[in-house]
Structure 1
Amino acid sequence: MRKINLLVYSLALFLCFCSKPQRQLDEVRVRLTKEPETLNPVSYSDAEGLQVINLLFQSLLVVDLASDELKPALVVDLPVVERVDSFTYFNYEIREEATWANGSPVTAADVAFTLKVLKAPLVNNEKLKPQVEFISDIVVDQNNNRKFKLKCEGFMPEMELLTGDFFILPAYLFDQERLLEPITVASLEENTTTLENNQRIKAFAEHFNSSDFSRNKELLQGSGGYILDSWVSGQYLTLTKKQDWWGNKTNTDYLSANPQRISFQIIPDNTTALMALRNRQLDVLENIPAAEFQQLKQDETFLQDYALYTPSSYEFVYVGLNSRLPKLADKHTRQAIAHLLDVDNMIKVSQQSYATPTVGPVPPTIKEFYNTSIQPYSYNVQQAKELLQTAGWENRTDGWYKKINGQQEKLTLTVSYKAGNTVFENAALIFQQSAAEAGIPVILQAQEGSLFTLKSKSHNFEMFFRSLSGNPFVFNFKPLFHTSFASQGGFNYTGFGNAESDAILDEVITTQDQAQKAQLLRRLQEILLDEATFLSLYYQQERLAISKRFGNIKTSGINPNYDVSAFTLKE
């Protein structure tokens, strides 16, 4: 039955492709794993929507995927920072060339409008609202409507990124009745109940939350180089390049809109997506499973038309040990468990060696902050046994025992992970076999996603496998490791932390001295490795294929791992 279903699905895909408009020469076809829920630049909720929105709208700052550096997009330069008493001001100036789809200039008033939308009650802005909470006001230059400063409470280094990392909205298009115009950004800090009863806010929210701002191509027009041309549910959506786009006048290679047409094909099934790639129906495919990627590397015919890329990602896999449990309270016990994690084998089995071991949550590619003076735990069963003895465990014929709170307790471990994740499942199986060699029984527990998260937050676990995504700009690990986040509901699931690590975490987010930050982060990695509650295993490498029809390929560890707007058609 499975083969029949696959055949039917593949046939449906073939018919779907045949029903699309004839492919243009300068068209890039990209796979989406699912249809975006919305293209609203404020209320989007998935990576697929964000990938498309990035081509329609722009933020003040942008990441250049050629170098993974933060650079100015809608603005002339990175912000000038002023610190006055307890406030920090970020000074920006919008590029003179920047225009909206109707040709009108982007101004500071559009930035102010955007902040109002992000802060206003009743608006579907729950995801982005926390990101701009620290921005208390905007001050527009009276002599230049492109200059402004953002007034912020306190200071943290990541504020520079956050003040420039939200899509700027066209006030002329999104608020045609000028409902929010008389409302100030500062006033949105007032009593929520009062604001919710404001008739202007209520009217705007009702309009903005409507389906019109989810997929209406007449409204979803930003300052980016593309406009939404068509969207056929369940099949594809297509963007076309703006004529005479302002970004092409800036002489900056990271602001680009080169392909005339970008077509996103909605293909949920990996097997079907790979079939479409092999049939030359796709130009770009990312997140290729490791085993299939290896097969593509051996396919000489395929390699004549496609190039394969493996940029190092900012997503890492780690093990969490619940140090609150009496049997895991001694760090020597946790270190013993660390020596039973055969990381090299896990990488080989689940990643086909497309991963890099790490000593901590800082990516090895960030050489300035990565601690090269320490090494990850080696797989060593004998050393694990010695550490268990040091922790007070007695090795008997049927396992390890220790007297805890007056009771003899046998060392067993329940390892949990999200059901359906083969990477975690394989890692857990490998650990189970290694632990058995050391005489530790391990029970594997695959859990549905929401249950897994709930149990992690409530500290109802012994050991788990998880993954986390980061970026090369922000190293605020306080929510993960500070003891103030270790209570139920906090993100410090493992209970890690002491006075020294808390002080380091507090200082990392306030210091502006890069050398000092590097020293602090290296010391944090040492403490994490020694305490062995949060065991970082490896950083993954992305796997993608891109048609050789195109040049100017920029790949990155930052999603979506390539800049499709930069592609140029080869002669």
Structure 2
Amino acid sequence: MFNDPENLNPINYQNSSALQIINLLFQSLLTVDLEDNGLKPLLAEELPVIEQGDTTTLFNYKIREEAEWADGSPVTATDVAFTLKVMMAPLVNNEQIKSQIEFVRDFIHDKTDPKRFTLVCRSFSPEMELLTGDFFILPEYLFDPDRLLKHFSIQELVEAAPELENNKNLIAFAGQFNNVKFARDKDVLKGSAGYELENWTTGQYVVLKRKENWWGAHAAAATTYLTAFPEQINFQIIPDNTTALLALKNKQLDVLSNIPAADFDLLKKDAAFTQDYALAAPDSYEFNYVALNTRHPKLNNRYTRLALAHLLDVESLIKVTLTNYGTRTVGPVPPAAEPFYNAGLTPYPYSQAKAENLLKEGGWRHEDNGWYKTVEGKKERLTLEVNYRAGNTVFENSSLIFQQHAAKLDIPVVVQALESSLSKQKSQNHEFEMTFRSLSGNPFIFNFKPFFHTSFSAQGGSNITGFGTPETDALLDAINAAQTEREKARLLKELQRILHEEAAIIPLYYLKERIAVHKRFANTKISGLKPNYDVSAFTLKD
């Protein structure tokens, strides 16, 4: 792994490293099998039975009879209800996940079977089938031993959450849940999946150990994706690409993903290496882009932002930094998702002349040593600070190339590498001007509300650019509520058009993943979906 997981809380984890590990500790009702990228039941016995009404949709689930927690107690509907309460409760650090289940209005326990339940949902959209089952189920006995949420109903939290912010039980629960104990303690982070946290040394390694007598090993169905084959899984945290690659070549790693493109091409030509390792480059759903802080006085004008977009030579970036392992895009919808991608838009072409004209339209005037404009009553020079996550050589080189292009137009750019947690902190605190970032997605859900809706733009929120208007807020809500793929496609194309015109983000490309896996393993399930392989399914070849 290139960065430390930082937080293994299944509700408020922050990065993809954490997600990969949590997937081995906890389970959701449904899962995507990387064998065929198909939606399958996981904790659920089968996909939900859907009853669609005029204004309400019912999703009926049953949890597998075999499913149990680490202490041997059964996973029940009460645990699912508890998890939803945590996701909805005020004061809990759950901002990003809360929007995922905002359509859930109530929860009905089956009176005859503790493993059956019904989710009562507002309206209907095709994505709801996945969304109703795509969150990690928490064991109530470990995450709320004092039963502080027991007497609150889902409906109560949905309808009256703002008024409950002063409730002493909710305050007490949030205080406990937001504590570091629920982010790191291996005695608490015990789910229904096949592994337990054995050891975590920050910045060095994470060790997972297979449970003895795990229930999934005895489950009669779905044995192809309900797996926990390796007895132990060791994740080494190596932030530096060069060091990680050296460890791979020295056979100190069995798996390495996100291999730098140039190195990946060299490995393909290395006969000694390919004798022991298989290489794969599936199309991924990882979107690389540049985020601009529209709150900043220098960047609150769209013409200025568009000018910067035309100074990013994306075609060259793909060629130079990725040796063509990338696909250009006009926005955060992958071109491979053809029904939803706005092919009528043209990616910003690299053009110094276009950038210069746009700067003038934005009120900047070129003088002997740069561009100037009166900003909040003061004459300001157009300069930029660009940051990226330390250790990411693609973003480092991209930043330097942008710096060179900007210099040709007399725009000084300071490039800064930031440690992962500091980069996140500065972004969420709005203490940045321009930053290179990536966003992992999937082909099933296009919920961009956490990234562009104004309700997420406060300090600490996930809308770091500050972009948003009443029009785009309504559009984001409508996308999530769309009842047909045709309607969702129309709305998503409109969102892409607005984002393209406003340039609060500058789309770069979708990556092709680059993975090496030792050839002694079978059943690796290489996929374009994160984490791009299913380590729980690995078996040794005969």
Please give the TM-score of this superposition, normalised by the length of structure 2: 0.79
Q: Distance in 2 between matches of 1:120 and 1:153?
A: 19
Q: For residue 335 of structure 1, report the CA deviation from its aligned partner.
A: 3.5
Q: For residue 431 of structure 1, report the CA deviation from its aligned partner.
A: 1.8
Q: Deviations over 1:320-352 (max 9, x none)?
A: 445567776665554343222111222334334
Q: Deviations over 1:488-539 (max 9, x none)?
A: 7765555655665454333212111101111221232223223333211122
- Superposed, 1:90-489 pairs within 5 Å as 90-100=59-69, 105-115=74-84, 135=104, 137-152=106-121, 159-170=128-139, 174=142, 183=151, 185-186=153-154, 189=157, 191=164, 193-196=166-169, 214-216=185-187, 222-224=191-193, 226-228=194-196, 230-231=198-199, 237-240=207-210, 245-246=215-216, 249-252=219-222, 255-257=225-227, 259-268=229-238, 270=240, 271-321=242-292, 331-388=302-359, 412-418=382-388, 420=390, 422-437=393-408, 439-446=409-416, 448=418, 463-482=434-453
- Superposed, 1:502-521 pairs within 5 Å as 502-521=473-492
Q: Distance in 1 between matches of 2:5 and 2:455?
A: 36
Q: Distance in 2 between matches of 1:418 and 1:63?
A: 31
Q: Which residue of 1 aligns with 2:501?
A: 530
- Is the 2:186–2:197 contact (alpha carbons within 8 Å) kept by the matching residues of 1? no
- Is the 2:42–2:226 contact (alpha carbons within 8 Å) kept by the matching residues of 1? no
Q: What are the ranges of 5 or more consecutive residues in structure 1 without an aligned counterpart?
A: 1-31
- Is the 2:81–2:154 contact (alpha carbons within 8 Å) kept by the matching residues of 1? no
Q: Which residue of 2 aligns with 1:553?
A: 524
Q: Deviations over 1:453-510 (max 9, x none)?
A: 6765676665443333333333232343446666777655556556654543332121
Q: Which residue of 2 aligns with 1:77?
A: 46
Q: Distance in 1 between matches of 2:265 and 2:271?
A: 12
Q: Distance in 2 between matches of 1:488 and 1:108?
A: 35
- Is the 2:62–2:116 contact (alpha carbons within 8 Å) kept by the matching residues of 1? yes
> Could you say what the CA RMSD is over the residues aligned between the two structures, in angstroms?
4.6
Tell me the SS of whatever aligns to 2:486.
helix
CA shift in 2, pair 1:447/1:223, >3 Å: closer
The answer to whether residue 512 in structure 2 is matched with residue 541 in structure 1 is yes
Tell me the SS of whatever aligns to 1:535.
strand
Q: Which residue of 2 aligns with 1:59?
A: 28
- Is the 1:366–1:472 contact (alpha carbons within 8 Å) kept by the matching residues of 2? yes
- Name the stretch that deviates more: 123-132 or 410-419: 123-132
CA shift in 2, pair 1:168/1:258, >3 Å: closer
Tell me the SS of whatever aligns to 1:292.
helix
Q: Distance in 2 between matches of 1:500 and 1:124?
A: 27
Q: Distance in 2 between matches of 1:316 and 1:104?
A: 41
CA shift in 2, pair 1:468/1:112, >3 Å: closer
- Is the 1:399–1:410 contact (alpha carbons within 8 Å) kept by the matching residues of 2? no
- Is the 1:479–1:491 contact (alpha carbons within 8 Å) kept by the matching residues of 2? yes
Q: For residue 557 of structure 1, report the CA deviation from its aligned partner.
A: 3.7
- Is the 2:457–2:463 contact (alpha carbons within 8 Å) kept by the matching residues of 1? yes
- Is the 1:40–1:215 contact (alpha carbons within 8 Å) kept by the matching residues of 2? no
Q: Deviations over 1:375-404 (max 9, x none)?
A: 2122223443455566676666655667x6
- Is the 1:247–1:255 contact (alpha carbons within 8 Å) kept by the matching residues of 2? no
- Name the stretch that deviates more: 173-182 or 477-486: 173-182
CA shift in 2, pair 1:134/1:345, >3 Å: same
Tell me the SS of whatever aligns to 2:185.
helix
Q: For residue 430 of structure 1, report the CA deviation from its aligned partner.
A: 1.3
Amino acid in structure 2 at the alignment position of 1:196: N
Amino acid in structure 2 at the alignment position of 1:311: P
Q: Distance in 1 between matches of 2:70 and 2:455?
A: 47
Percent identity, please: 48
- Is the 2:400–2:415 contact (alpha carbons within 8 Å) kept by the matching residues of 1? no
Q: Deviations over 1:283-308 (max 9, x none)?
A: 21223334433332222111011111
- Is the 2:96–2:450 contact (alpha carbons within 8 Å) kept by the matching residues of 1? no
- Is the 2:452–2:463 contact (alpha carbons within 8 Å) kept by the matching residues of 1? yes
CA shift in 2, pair 1:311/1:489, >3 Å: same
Tell me the number of residue pairs that the alignment of Structure 1 and Structure 2 aligns: 531
Q: For residue 547 of structure 1, report the CA deviation from its aligned partner.
A: 1.1
Q: For residue 91 of structure 1, report the CA deviation from its aligned partner.
A: 1.9
Q: For residue 117 of structure 1, report the CA deviation from its aligned partner.
A: 6.1
CA shift in 2, pair 1:377/1:303, >3 Å: same
Structure with greater Cα Rg: 1
Q: Distance in 2 between matches of 1:458 and 1:101?
A: 38
Q: Distance in 2 between matches of 1:114 and 1:457?
A: 26
CA shift in 2, pair 1:506/1:260, >3 Å: closer
- Is the 1:116–1:188 contact (alpha carbons within 8 Å) kept by the matching residues of 2? no
Q: Distance in 1 between matches of 2:401 and 2:11?
A: 42
Q: For residue 43 of structure 1, report the CA deviation from its aligned partner.
A: 6.9
- Is the 1:157–1:509 contact (alpha carbons within 8 Å) kept by the matching residues of 2? no
Q: Deviations over 1:42-61 (max 9, x none)?
A: 67666545433423432111
Q: For residue 353 of structure 1, report the CA deviation from its aligned partner.
A: 3.1
Q: Deviations over 1:401-453 (max 9, x none)?
A: 67x6899978733132246354434223212222333x332231527567766
- Name the stretch that deviates more: 500-509 or 481-490: 481-490
Q: What are the ranges of 5 or more consecutive residues in structure 2 without an aligned counterpart?
A: none
- Is the 2:25–2:197 contact (alpha carbons within 8 Å) kept by the matching residues of 1? no
- Is the 2:298–2:375 contact (alpha carbons within 8 Å) kept by the matching residues of 1? no
Q: Distance in 2 between matches of 1:68 and 1:221?
A: 27
Q: Distance in 2 between matches of 1:292 and 1:81?
A: 48
